[in-house]
Amino acid sequence: MGGVHGPLMADESPTESTRDRVRALVREVLKNAAPAEEEVGAAVAAQPDATARPQTAEAGGPRLARVVDVAPAAAETRAAEAEKEYARDESSKTVITEDDVRGLPDGARLRVAESARLTPLAADIVRERRIELVRRVPRRGPRAEKIVAVGADHGGYPLKEELKGLLAELGHRARDFGTNSTEAVDYPDFAHAVARAVSEGEADLGIVIDGAGVGSAMTANKVPGVRAAACYSVKVAVNSREHNDANVLTLGSGTITPDEMRDRVRAWLATEIREDRHKRRVAKIDAVERQYSMSKAR
């Protein structure tokens, strides 16, 4: 025994009978260590989602206990417990407003979409209360269905109706904020309605059509969280999304044909901001907006 456990101390001189009792005890423990086949079977029956892998001995040998794999069930339990850790789940929204974070306790965890943006007031509350934002990686790609808010003045009305058909062809859903005829109206009213829907998370993106596209872009950009771009070519449309993460597209009915509208809208919807350098610059745009919003609140 000294070769395995080290030398014995002077007062450790076990007798032969002591060794025999120890050996007998070890044999008894080993004999009773494996549960009976029936007992393991009952345990498996109580866990219908578990996967049992029976181990059998050679013919005439002892019957061995079956091994039960409960890892899948355990993983589901851990996922469910992690889900409960969020104070609130707003991951279905593209814009987080003050209403989404108001009432959360200090240090709370809020689950949001990976690309979700915060309005200036929401950002202030998150910062003051040290709310932790847990961003969810989206499961859908850029070609998945989007809710697109659309609007136009009287000059852009006919093109808006064609736009709604195009969105349906591309697998997107349109929310029409008007106008609904060629009767004269004011473009800021409809640009504001579309921009607000995007800002408040009621729509993923927005498209507005007026005579030139410039006035609607100016109006939409007054709404917090909105980055509207008046695009006069497919290249500019792609750039506005890839570099600037534009979430509202404005077009001029007096400057494009229906085919040109379709080309620009297709390109705009199919493009996403990808590179970190572009995201960093867009974050600076948002920071400028917050700076003036905070100064007005003082």
Question: Could you give the residue numbers annotated as active site?
Answer: 243
DSSP string, 65-84: PPEEE-HHHHHHHHHHHHHH
Calpha distance 295→298 (Å, rounded): 5
Residues 6+ away with beta carbon under 8 Å from 68 = 40, 43, 44, 47, 50, 51, 52, 53
> 3-class SS at 149?
strand
Residues in contact with 279: Cβ distance below 8 Å, sequence separation at least 6, in sequence order: 245, 273
Determine the Cα–Cα distance for residues 229 and 246; give it in Å rounded to an integer: 6
CB atoms within 10 A of CB 219: 25
Which tokens belong to 79? 């996922």
The two tokens of residue 24 are 């007998």
Tokens of 254: 């007096």
Residues in the chain: 298
C-alpha 89/C-alpha 136 separation (Å) is 10
